Amino acid sequence: MRSNAIERWSTLPELVASAADRFGDAEAVVDGPLRLSFAEVGERISCAAGAFADLGIEKGDRAAIWAPNSAEWIIAAFGLLTAGGVLVPVNTRFKADEAADIISRSGAKAVLVQQGFLGVDYTLPSSWSGRRPPVIDLKSDFLSSGRPFSRPVDGDDISDIIFTSGTTGRPKGVMMNHRQNLRLYQEWCDLADLREGDRYLMVNPYFHTFGYKAGLIASFIRGATMLPVPVFDVDRVVELIAAERITMLPGPPTLYHSLLSVPDKSMLSTLRAGVTGAADIPVELIRRVHEELPFRTLATGYGLTEAGTVTLSRPGDSFEDIATTAGVACDGVEMRIAEDGEVLVRGYTVMQGYLDDPAATAEAIDGEGWLHTGDLGTVDDAGRLRIVGRKKDMFIVGGFNAYPAEIEGFLLEHPDVAQAAVIGVPDERLGQVGKAFVVPKVGSDGPAAGLDKDGLIAWCRDRMAGFKVPRYVEFLDELPLNATGKVMKDRLEASPR
């Protein structure tokens, strides 16, 4: 699916300059009252590059952006890249100490923030040791203070360091270069059906690969209008879809659940394409999206920070294929399943390594170039990947391997279950058994009245092998999620039985 367009650029600054030439006066960014064309965005990025140069950013220097989705985030990120710098996005959900750990380890020479967002002032903790990088408010005049500037960079230069989500350990900095980003997200545009002139509502956070690369980089490749959403609110999203005639709307499965509950579906009539991904998407959700919403395509895929997008579904895939598999490998990407069930990936998309951590890099990428993802999966005869769980999540019940994602999938088929997460807990006789954390569906009379622990366990026994059946159930109002929608199971593990 490679397009010859990728041969024209070897770096992200070249892509931005090309987009200004190719799309000119077409609308590039809409952020509240601010509307900028591709030419205007290109000019602002060039001036931002000058501001970074004036700040002392040299080629290869790093700067962090710890801020929500906005036009300024876009201009700052690509301005930094145009100055030859390396982008370090920081999770907006992080507290000061968490952010400081990443900013310090990245060696960032500046930190860009949006002060006052959701009433929060983004500041480094007083305990910071060593040289404190300047903290610059994106809403100040910093980005416009420089003169037009660019510095030569090479396609093999590191362009960004994105830290892993850290749900199973301390976050590690994943290094990627310009060339691999450009090649992969050109193909993503093809498979996700992103088109020139699309209006792309961006609910995925820019500090994450899905928001930054499958969002911003893809939009500069295709000439799609970028509409950043700083905080997801379904009513506001519906208003924007209707007012801005949104055509492209990727996001987690919960996004599409929210859209299905919108009373006036006519407000969604312009939606054409979406992309999602998770190990446990109910087939019923995909069927309802196709039947009740105007999407013509809804792709699913599998990816990780260390290798970007690995697989995507293909046009013509059935509801069941889209819901239960993550599609087939992208062009130039090899994938196989190891003897223990772990998904291994090899190819040009695999990271350049973890920042300042050769031991962890060697542990993740073996001598033959295979990235050990930590995910467990299967591949069918058509090459479609099915994720069954995390290697670290798997627990053993009396000698049988139990995969939380599979059990969660069963639980989500219960008519009164809205969300579910399963972990293994100690058991004297069996070693470990499953415990389910369940969020009931809410009806007009409140939470599902007919849902009780014993009844749900009995329901499970009718549908899955005995060793998979959760021995314990705890009902919650909500699951603890990080900013990218992943369940933070370490929080659940702290919960008493």
Q: What is the domain-level CATH number for residue 426?
A: 3.30.300.30
Q: How many domains does the chain have?
A: 3
Question: What is the pLDDT, as a whole number, of residue 315?
Answer: 84
Residue 295 lies in a domain: no
Question: What is the pLDDT, as a whole number, of residue 445?
Answer: 55
Residue 250 lies in a domain: yes
The DSSP result for 67-124, as a single string, is S-S-HHHHHHHHHHHHTT-EEEE--TT--HHHHHHHHHHHT-S-EEE-TTBTTB----
Residue 289 lies in a domain: no
My answer on whether 203 and 262 are in the same domain is no
The residues near 46 (Cβ < 8 Å, ≥ 6 apart) are 79, 82, 148, 149, 150
Residues of 22-47 as b/e, b for ≥16 C-beta within 10 angstroms?
Answer: bbeeebbbbbeeeebbbbbbbbbbbb
Q: Which burial class, exposed, middle or buried, applies to 363 when counting CB atoms under 10 A from its CB (0-12, 13-18, 19+)?
A: exposed
44, 114, 56: which is closest to 85 by C-alpha?
Answer: 56
Residue 285 lies in a domain: no
Distance CA 366, CA 362 (A): 6
My answer on whether 240 and 225 are in the same domain is no
Residue 77 lies in a domain: yes
The residue range of the domain holding 482 is 396-493
Residue 63 lies in a domain: yes
Distance CA 433, CA 168 (A): 20
Residue 236 lies in a domain: yes
My answer on whether 378 and 408 are in the same domain is no
Distance CA 275, CA 312 (A): 9
Kindly give the parts of the chain with pLDDT less than 50. 1-6, 444, 446
My answer on whether 1 and 59 are in the same domain is yes
CB 61 within 8 A of CB 49: no
Distance CA 28, CA 19 (A): 9
Q: Which residue, 392, 407, 440, sits at the end of a domain?
A: 392
Residue 283 lies in a domain: no
Q: Which residue, 392, 426, 446, sits at the end of a domain?
A: 392
Residue 226 Ramachandran class (φ > 0 left, ψ -120 to 50 alpha, else beta) = beta
Distance CA 253, CA 167 (A): 19
CB 427 within 8 A of CB 377: no
Question: What is the pLDDT, as a whole number, of residue 192?
Answer: 96
Question: What is the pLDDT, as a whole number, of residue 127?
Answer: 84
My answer on whether 309 and 401 are in the same domain is no
The vertex-460 CA angle with 455 and 466, nearest 5°, equals 125
Question: What is the pLDDT, as a whole number, of residue 3?
Answer: 43
Which tokens in the block code for residue 405?
């994602």
Question: What is the pLDDT, as a whole number, of residue 6?
Answer: 46
Which DSSP state fits 192?
H
